[in-house]
Structure 1
Amino acid sequence: MKKWLVILSLCIVILAGIVAVVYFNAVEPVKKAEEFAVKQALEKTALTKVKEFSSYHGEETYYIVQGEDDKGTKLIVWLPEKKGKILVKKSTEGLTREQAVKKVLADIDSAEIISVKLGMENGIPLWEIHSRTKENLLNYHSVVFESGEWLKKIENL
């Protein structure tokens, strides 16, 4: 009986080790991207304090860094993964997360918002909103950050 407990314990430790290695290998590229984007945003823009990082994978990959400048003005920085122009906007120049969600919910019949994040397509900053209908179908909507106009609708998948 004691032998089985030792073998079982050893298997659990080995399995936990494998899971930890896989997890850390999976998270490493995201951490490197965040470090790169934050460093670039702090060096190349007026951003002095970082509050949030996200990435957007559309036709091109963009890193979005949100924070404040030295005067406390809230800024959003869109950094292309590859070469390209860095875009900086005051958060007051566009829709808030809540306004973008209200825009989508006013026009469609979604039961649940799954995710809301900033992105960029063809040089246009946007809010990308994923939702689910009452029938469990997926919707993808892109709303232009500055104007609130529809950029893309993919519904009922």
Structure 2
Amino acid sequence: MMNWVKFIVAFLLFLTLFITVIVLYNANKPFSSVQNKAETIAMKNGSLQSVDHAEIYNGTISMITVYGKDADGIKKAVFVDEKTEKVLDEVVLKDGIDAQTAVETVKSELQMKKILHVALGLEEGHPVWEVAFKSENGKLNYVYVFFENGEWWKRILNL
């Protein structure tokens, strides 16, 4: 009798783990396919020779920011529109601030409890860093910092 109970418990644990892995894999599939497509577009366009990684940016328009190196070995970020599948713009990463500098700029004026994400994207034709974080009072905040010079562009605070 006790062996049956052990078997059933072990079987249910295995089944739960198996279903969880399948669900997580299928949930990530759309993001992976969009990122892979954007990487291919950036390389076919000639903007990049090799790709390091890609991330999704959801601003006024959804886009994928693809990071990599061009034919001359210069590190770039290429912005690919998710819907039209066209390259919107590209920036040389050394010509602007990095993600850590954007976070430090925000930290200098606002109290952060937890950083949720930092993403590079295009807003109104300008590359910006979107810093999303929770403040000390637990409220959600979005701050946009210009990529070129690190100046503030827009703040959405205490949501």
**Gap change, CA 1:25 and 1:107, over 3 Å in 2:** same
The structural deviation recorded for 1:106 is 2.0
Per-residue CA deviation, residues 19-56 of structure 1 (Å, 9 max, x unaligned), is 12111110111110111011011110331121121001
- Higher mean alpha-carbon deviation, 57-66 vs 121-130, is at 121-130
Structure 1 stretches of at least 4 aligned residues deviating more than 4 Å after TM superposition: none
**Counterpart contact for 1:45–1:88, Cα < 8 Å:** no
Q: Does 1:106 align with 2:108?
A: yes
**Counterpart contact for 2:128–2:146, Cα < 8 Å:** yes
**Gap change, CA 1:77 and 1:17, over 3 Å in 2:** same
**What is the aligned partner in structure 1 of residue 133 from structure 2?**
131
Structure 1 distance, partners of 2:95, 2:138, is: 34
Structure 2 distance, partners of 1:109, 1:23, is: 34
Q: Does 1:14 align with 2:21?
A: no
**What is the aligned partner in structure 2 of residue 143 from structure 1?**
145
**Counterpart contact for 2:134–2:140, Cα < 8 Å:** yes
The structural deviation recorded for 1:59 is 2.1
Give the counterpart letter for 1:33 in structure 2.
V
**Aligned-residue identity in percent:** 30
**What is the aligned partner in structure 2 of residue 80 from structure 1?**
81
SS in 2 for 1:86: strand
The structural deviation recorded for 1:111 is 4.1
**1:17-36, aligned counterparts within 5 Å?**
17-36=18-37
**What is the aligned partner in structure 1 of residue 63 from structure 2?**
62
Give me the CA root mean square deviation. 1.8
TM-score w.r.t. the length of structure 2 is 0.88
Q: Does 1:53 align with 2:16?
A: no
**Gap change, CA 1:93 and 1:33, over 3 Å in 2:** same
Structure 1 distance, partners of 2:103, 2:15, is: 45
**Counterpart contact for 1:142–1:153, Cα < 8 Å:** yes
TM-score w.r.t. the length of structure 1 is 0.89
**Counterpart contact for 1:65–1:78, Cα < 8 Å:** yes
Question: Which blocks of at least 5 consecutive residues in structure 2 are unaligned?
Answer: none
The structural deviation recorded for 1:85 is 4.6
